[in-house]
């Protein structure tokens, strides 16, 4: 397993898309920062990390799709299986490496948010100011970053499943982005239409993505109909389900 992790880490850090992802993230956050100057509540932009969550999700979806699909596209999966002959360990090692990537990228987002704030707003709108939930802007920013990091558990497991079922990384990435960004809206429609007749519908996987927002914005409860604790538990349960389904698809994927 350690050898597999080393191989996966080596392959990942040598990918151009991974190497440039922090720069891409910073550029996008900086763009949002400058674009927000003459808009509404600027503390909201700071608390949201200048839309960092959306950019992070897209970058992580692309990386997750690539780490699975590219092995099959380039035929390197044959060498990997010949070396280790345990697809479960291969699958889990890739997921762990993506998990490390998620942590590093979220740490970058937190640092970039501070840099962009001072670069664009200067000393205005201090991090110590009290904002939503009777917390400081800095506490809101940390909540936003950490809750989105937790939501990546479900994002990664879903994309791994899609990548294991699809033929190319581009298809996996596109389907992954569409699923992640549409799932919450579809879930909201389902809860509003059949929620009273079928209360268990609120436990659908699309609703679980609200965990990235509800900690920062408690009013989201009116949409999710689940408490923070229930969302956390639901995310863990669905993550296990998607890992099992994803591995099943990965195990049966033709080399």
Task: Check pLDDT > 80 for residue 167.
Answer: no
Instruction: Report CA 110 to chain centroid distance, whole Å.
Output: 15
What confidence tens digit (pLDDT) does each residue in 46-92 have? 998 999 998 999 999 999 988 888 777 767 777 777 777 788 888 89
Q: Which candidate, 86, 85, 61, places its Cα nearest to that of 151? A: 61
Nearest to 175 by CA among 164, 185, 187: 164
**What confidence score (pLDDT) does residue 66 get?**
87
Residue 255 has pLDDT above 70, yes or no: no
- Tell me the per-residue pLDDT of 221-244, one tens digit each, with 9 for 90 and over: 888 899 999 999 999 999 999 999
Of 117, 161, 165, 167, residue with least CA distance to 138: 117
DSSP string, 135-167: -BHHHHHHHHHHHHHHHHHHHHHHHHHHHHHSS
* Residue 255: how many other CB atoms lie within 10 Å: 9
């Amino acid at each position: 397993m350690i050898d597999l992790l080393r191989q996966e880490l080596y392959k990942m850090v040598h990918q151009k898309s991974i190497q440039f992802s922090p720069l891409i993230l910073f550029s996008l956050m900086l763009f949002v920062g400058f674009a927000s100057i003459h808009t509404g509540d600027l503390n909201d932009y700071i608390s949201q990390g200048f839309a960092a969550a959306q950019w992070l999700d897209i970058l992580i979806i692309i990386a997750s799709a690539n780490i699975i699909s590219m092995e099959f596209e380039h035929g390197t999966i044959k060498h990997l299986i010949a070396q280790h002959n345990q697809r479960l360990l291969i699958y889990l090692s890739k997921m762990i490496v993506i998990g490390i990537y998620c942590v590093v990228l979220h740490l970058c987002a937190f640092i970039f948010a501070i840099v962009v704030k001072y670069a664009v707003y200067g000393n205005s709108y201090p991090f110590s100011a009290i904002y939503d939930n009777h917390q400081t802007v800095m506490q809101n920013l940390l909540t936003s970053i950490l809750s989105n990091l937790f939501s990546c558990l479900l994002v990664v497991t879903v994309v791994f499943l899609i990548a294991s079922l699809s033929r190319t990384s581009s298809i996996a990435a596109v389907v992954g982005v569409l699923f992640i960004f549409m799932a919450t809206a579809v879930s909201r429609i389902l809860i509003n239409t059949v929620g009273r007749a079928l209360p268990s519908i609120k436990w659908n996987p699309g609703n679980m993505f609200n965990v990235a927002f509800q900690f920062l914005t408690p009013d989201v409860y009116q949409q999710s109909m689940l408490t923070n604790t229930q969302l956390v538990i639901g995310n863990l349960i669905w993550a296990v389900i998607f890992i099992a389904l994803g591995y099943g698809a990965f195990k049966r994927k033709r080399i």
